[in-house]
Amino acid sequence: MTANGDPSPLAKYLRARRELVQPAAVGISDTGSRRVPGLRREEVAFLAGVSSDYYVRLEQGRDRHPSEQVLVSIANALQLDEEATAYLVQLATSPSTRRRRSRRPEKVGDGIRTLISTWPLTPAYIHGAYMDVLAANPLAIALSPFNAPGRNSVLDAFLETELRALHADWEETTARVVPYLRSVAGPDVDDPRLVEIVGELSVRSERFRKLWARQDVRHKATGISLLQHPQVGPLELHYEKLQIPGTQGQTLVTYHALPGSDSEDRLRLLASLNDSARTPTNAVRMATDR
């Protein structure tokens, strides 16, 4: 348990993932009624090769620092993939040994800001560790005003009706963004900025509450976004998310259309419309210091 009596992040993660595993998926015949979804604690313990009492202590938060070997065995029992297993190990690492993020305002380097400003047909923006937008080129903002510095991509995904209208694949988009937030935020689930974001969304969005409770972790760094842009119509854009070395979690997000596609033509039209409205002073907008 934590100091205020709540289960530890490790305990909450184990319970959430256990409840998602169906007995038949791990070769256990489901005979009789079950009072809980997913596997029983003793079943996880058996599959992981640990005692039931020890696993119960882990899930109750009474033992927070198991060995990596034990965690990997439990991860295998819970059918976690490599990324989720790494997250589980991180949760069990003592907070005192983790590299804590600086509390200083996040700033984007001049070089990367200049770079994205030279991309006339590539919408690009940079977000921080908790998906606060820190910098964006004009085409990214023309693509969506919610890509502008000062916005938060997670809050907007669930709370802004205009963004929901923009994303033809909104259900899939929100299903991606929550596991992605966990992956970029890492194990420091008590960070004040993360607590602020999760707290607001938990109150205001039922869909977020359900997705966050699953404790999914996935750093999906490439894929396709389907947009219905109010000016140029449907766009099928490929996105790439590249972590910037030497920063504390800053990520460069870019979009591009396939060469020769209708989406490329529409993206060129959007760039042209944006160029006609631009002034020389807004090549790359930056967030003000927090």
SS3 letters across 26-69: HCCCCCCCCCCCCCCHHHHHHHHCCCHHHHHHHHCCCCCCCCHH
Any idea which residue has 């005692």 for tokens?
51
81-128 pLDDT, tens digit each: 999 999 999 998 866 555 555 567 788 999 999 999 999 999 999 999
User: Is residue 121 within 8 Å of 138, Cβ to Cβ?
Assistant: no
Which domains, and CATH codes, for the chain? 9-97 (1.10.260.40), 110-286 (3.30.450.180)
pTM of the model: 0.83
166-203 pLDDT, tens digit each: 999 999 999 999 999 999 888 888 889 999 999 999 99
- Find the angle CA(86)-CA(90)-CA(95) to the nearest 5 degrees: 170
126-177 pLDDT, tens digit each: 999 899 999 999 999 999 999 999 999 999 999 999 999 999 999 999 999 9
Tell whether the model's pLDDT for residue 2 goes beyond 80.
no
Residues in the chain: 290
How are strands ordered across the β-sheet holding 124-127?
A: 222-229, 233-243, 251-256, 124-127, 133-136, 285-286
Letter for the amino acid at 38? G
With CA atoms as reference, report the closest residue to 252 among 104, 157, 112, 111: 112
